[in-house]
Amino acid sequence: MTTERVCAIARDNDVDTGGKVTVTGKGVLVGVTVTNLSASVIYVRIYDSAVITDGTSTIVYGPLAIAPTSTQIFGAPQGLFTYQNGLSARATTVGTDADATDVGASECMVHFHHQIAVV
C-alpha cells in the first residue's frame, strides 16, 4: 500500500473570534493566504484543532497581523507545520490571544494551502 500526498485548498470567507474549522484530519500546512477587507489591522491565529477556546487553545501559527484592506501570503516549501487534528483559524481586532473582540462580518478570509495523505 502506497501513501501519496496531494495538494488541496480549503477556505472560509467569514473567519471571526468563534473560529472556523476548514480542514479535518492530518496533513501538512504549506501556506496560508489571509485577506482583510476591513479598515483596521486584524490578527489571525491558526490552530491544530477542531475546537477553539479563546485564550486557552494552543496557537500553532500566529498571531498574524494583517494590514487593512490587504491580502498577505505566508508559506514555506517544506511546510509551515504538520497538523494532526485539523486546521482552524480565528480572527480578532487585538493581538492578544485571549482577545474576544470580533472582526466584522465577512471581513476576514482565510485560505489554507495544505497537503493531505491519500492511500
Quick one: cell of 16?
471571526
pTM: 0.84
Kindly give the confidence (pLDDT) of every residue in the chain, 119 residues in length, as a single tens digit, with 9 standing for 90 and above: 556 667 777 777 788 777 777 788 888 888 899 999 999 999 999 988 877 776 677 888 888 999 999 999 998 767 778 888 888 888 989 887 677 788 888 899 998 888 876 64
Query: If we measure between CA atoms, which residue out of 15, 32, 10, 1 comes closest to residue 103?
Result: 15
99 neighbors 44 (Cβ within 8 angstroms): no
User: Any alpha helices (H) in 1-119, and if so which ranges?
Assistant: none
Q: Under the phi-then-psi rule, with left for phi > 0, alpha for psi from -120 to 50, and beta for the rest, what region is 69?
A: left
Class of domain 4-118: mainly beta
Going from N- to C-terminal start, the domains of the chain cover 4-118
